[in-house]
């Protein structure tokens, strides 16, 4: 299996240490602290020969007049690494000590950055976005404040603790004999096919979600479900759970709400699509786990 973009985050997330407010304060004051700035969920990058993350020194960031609290992503070589949302001052940032910087959209960075850095972008984007969306308590409506160095938010009015959420989505290659079934979503051009996918529902296992989604979208019954790989997808906070789902027949019936067309493809047709030489079939690019699932199925992995 090849590397799946947004996986491979290298940080020690310091789950135990971050419970200690004194330790957190020391990390925030540390001269070794490094900060990744985000503006409207775009990430500050540095362009030299290649695109790199633009880590800014703590001394510079402590002088910034932004409303957000830094959130600790984790430790690397003992150095604390933070994400800082500077959306409110991004138009008037002072010199940051790094030349040639620009804010860049996370999706485009998934395949242009080194793998570990793309994993950091995914974590930073998902966490900063969660803080932006959870400024008020879901239990009592009062304002919440960051806690545990950004790994939670606390409501001082009612005492509730709120934690970042991750939403599971199942995504599957449906297969039978030497063929796999892919769907073309409404609005996609002719020949643009991908995996069936959908959110896991409440009180549902991964296998149950796979069977329900496939039945709803293409009318096929699934017996065996085999987990294959997963992908963090920070738009805003999804975990894509990739499976191979064995269909009990070839008799697909498309629901036409989400999927406009479903079609069975042979191994050879899929291999040609992966190679970019199938004029009839285009599959998603390597940024998406769908690409890896489809390719791995075609290679018998
Ligand atoms: Zn509350």
Q: Give the distance (Å) from ligand 1 centre to CA of residue 14.
A: 26
Mind listing the pLDDT tens digit for each residue in 43-85? 999 988 899 999 999 999 999 999 999 999 999 999 999 999 9
**Residue 192 phi, psi dihedral angles, 5° rounding:** -95, 95
* C-alpha 166 to ligand 1 mean position (Å): 21
- Do residues 80 and 55 lie in contact, with contact meaning Cβ atoms separated by under 8 Å? no
- For residue 226, report the distance from its CA to the centre of ligand 1, in Å: 41
Residue 94's pLDDT band (boundaries 50, 70, 90)?
confident
Predicted confidence (pLDDT) at residue 1 exceeds the cutoff of 80: no
What is the 133 CA–ligand 1 centroid distance (Å)? 15
CB 194 within 8 A of CB 171: no
DSSP secondary structure string, 183-210?
EEETTPPTTB-B-EEEEPPTT--HHHHH
**257 pLDDT band (50/70/90 cuts)?**
confident
For the cut 90, the answer to whether the pLDDT of residue 298 exceeds it is yes
Residue 38's nearest CA partner among 87, 91, 109 is 87
Mean pLDDT of the 229-233 span: 98
Query: Which has the closest alpha carbon to 41: 232, 236, 233?
Result: 236
CA–CA gap between residue 135 and residue 155 (Å, rounded):
9
Average pLDDT, the chain: 95
Between CA 160 and CA 140 the distance in angstroms is 9
Q: Smallest Cα–Cα separation from 246: which of 214, 213, 222?
A: 222
Per-residue pLDDT reduced to its tens digit, 261-297: 999 999 999 999 999 999 999 999 999 999 999 999 9
Q: How far is the CA of 136 from the centre of ligand 1 (A)?
A: 8
Tokens 């190679």 belong to 275
pLDDT of 34 strictly over 90: yes
Per DSSP, helices labelled H in the chain are 21-29, 58-62, 106-109, 115-133, 206-218, 267-274, 289-298
**First and final C-alpha spacing in the chain:** 8
pTM: 0.95
Query: Ligand 1 centre and the CA of 16: distance in Å?
Result: 24
Residues whose CB is less than 8 angstroms from the CB of residue 256 and which lie 6 or more positions away in sequence, other chains included: none
How far apart are the CA of 67 and the centre of ligand 1, in A? 21
Quickly state the pLDDT bin for 255 (edges 50, 70, 90).
Answer: confident
Distance of CA 49 from the midpoint of ligand 1 (Å) = 49
| Percent of the chain residues past pLDDT 70, beyond the cut | 100
Peptide bond into 228 cis (omega under 30): no
The per-residue pLDDT for range 126-148, each reduced to its tens digit, is 999 999 999 999 999 999 999 99
Q: Which pLDDT belongs to residue 102?
A: 94
Distance 143 CA to ligand 1 centre (A): 8
Distance 157 CA to ligand 1 centre (A): 5
High-pLDDT (> 90) share of the chain, %: 91
From ligand 1's centre to the CA of 161, what distance in Å? 8
Q: How far is the CA of 134 from the centre of ligand 1 (A)?
A: 11
pLDDT at 301: 73
83-96: b (≥16 Cβ within 10 Å) or e: bbbbbebbeebeeb
- C-alpha of residue 69 to centroid of ligand 1, in Å: 20
What token pair was written down for 29? 């004051």
């Amino acid at each position: 299996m090849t590397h799946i973009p947004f996986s491979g985050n290298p940080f020690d997330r310091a789950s135990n240490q971050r419970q200690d407010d004194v330790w957190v304060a020391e990390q925030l004051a540390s001269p070794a602290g490094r900060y990744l700035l985000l503006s409207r969920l775009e990430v500050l990058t540095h362009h030299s020969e290649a695109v790199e993350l633009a880590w800014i020194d703590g001394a510079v960031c402590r002088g910034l007049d932004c409303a957000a609290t830094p959130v600790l992503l984790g430790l690397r070589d003992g150095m604390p690494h933070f994400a800082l949302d500077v959306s409110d001052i991004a138009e008037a940032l002072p010199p940051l000590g790094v030349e040639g910087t620009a804010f860049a959209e996370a999706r485009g960075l998934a395949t242009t950055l080194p793998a570990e850095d793309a994993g950091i972008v995914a974590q930073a984007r998902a966490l900063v976005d969660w803080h932006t969306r959870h400024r008020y308590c879901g239990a009592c409506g009062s304002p919440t404040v960051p806690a545990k160095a950004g790994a939670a938010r606390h409501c001082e009015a009612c005492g509730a603790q709120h934690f970042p959420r991750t939403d599971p989505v199942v995504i599957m290659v449906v297969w039978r004999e030497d063929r796999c079934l892919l769907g073309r979503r409404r609005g996609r051009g002719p020949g643009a096919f991908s995996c069936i996918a959908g959110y896991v529902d409440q009180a549902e296992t991964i296998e149950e979600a796979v069977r329900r989604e496939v039945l709803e979208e293409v009318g096929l019954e699934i017996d065996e479900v085999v987990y294959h790989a997963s992908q963090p997808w920070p738009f805003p906070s999804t975990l894509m759970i990739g499976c191979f789902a064995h269909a009990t027949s070839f008799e697909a019936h498309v629901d036409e709400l989400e999927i406009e067309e479903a079609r069975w493809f042979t191994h050879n047709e899929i291999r040609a699509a992966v190679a970019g030489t199938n004029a009839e079939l285009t599959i998603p690019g390597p940024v998406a786990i769908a690409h890896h699932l489809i390719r791995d199925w075609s290679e018998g992995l």
